[in-house]
């Protein structure tokens, strides 16, 4: 018999699995009133926990949550907005080029058409890459909401 009382964890082990328990612990509990009483309290507690049924909501929690979740956003509004902004930007740029061309008639005469084409292709490629990147980031963010 151990001189010291056995600790809480050992008592719990004894209550939950008497067969696998260390013989020293079993002996101690059989002879010590205090530890035996504690073991009985744990037995009552575990029995009560087993009896307690899992809490069940009286309403359909999944359904309620699903209703609250925002519907997957429709992309049509964003597409219209992008199209509108692009159109406005192109219109403003065209007007500016038209207006400034009057004052600087040689602005676009200085570069050859091949240079102009290279600039346009570069701008277009960069724009496409930026759009793809933005779109991917947006979709990633929407997935985690």
12, 32, 42, 43: which one binds Zn ion (CB under 5 A): 32
Nearest approach in angstroms of CB 4 to Zn ion is 8
CA 20 – CA 30 distance, rounded (Å): 16
User: What tokens were used for 101?
Assistant: 């061309």
5, 18, 31, 136: which one binds Zn ion (CB under 5 A): 5
CA 20 – CA 43 distance, rounded (Å): 16
- Comparing CB distances to Zn ion, the nearer of 34 and 139 is 34
User: What tokens were used for 130?
Assistant: 């930026």
11, 15, 35, 39: which one binds Zn ion (CB under 5 A): 35
H/E element, 61: helix 61-68
Q: Which stretch binds Zn ion (CB under 5 A): 1-9, 13-21, 59-67, 94-102?
A: 1-9
Three-state DSSP at 87 gives helix
Count the site residues for Zn ion by CB under 5 A. 4
Nearest approach in angstroms of CB 14 to Zn ion is 11
């Amino acid at each position: 018999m151990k001189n010291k009382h056995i600790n809480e964890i050992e008592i719990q082990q004894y209550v939950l699995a008497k067969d696998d328990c260390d013989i020293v612990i079993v002996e101690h509990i059989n002879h010590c009133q205090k530890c035996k009483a504690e073991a009985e309290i744990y037995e009552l507690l575990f029995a009560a926990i087993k009896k307690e049924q899992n809490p069940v909501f009286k309403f359909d929690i999944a359904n309620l949550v699903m209703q609250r979740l925002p519907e997957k956003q429709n992309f049509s509004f964003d597409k219209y907005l992008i199209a509108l902004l692009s159109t406005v930007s192109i219109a403003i740029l065209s007007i500016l080029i038209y207006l400034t061309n009057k004052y600087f008639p040689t602005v676009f005469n200085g570069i050859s058409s091949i240079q102009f084409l290279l600039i346009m292709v570069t701008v277009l490629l960069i724009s496409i890459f930026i759009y793809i990147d933005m779109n991917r980031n947006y979709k990633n963010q929407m997935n985690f909401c």
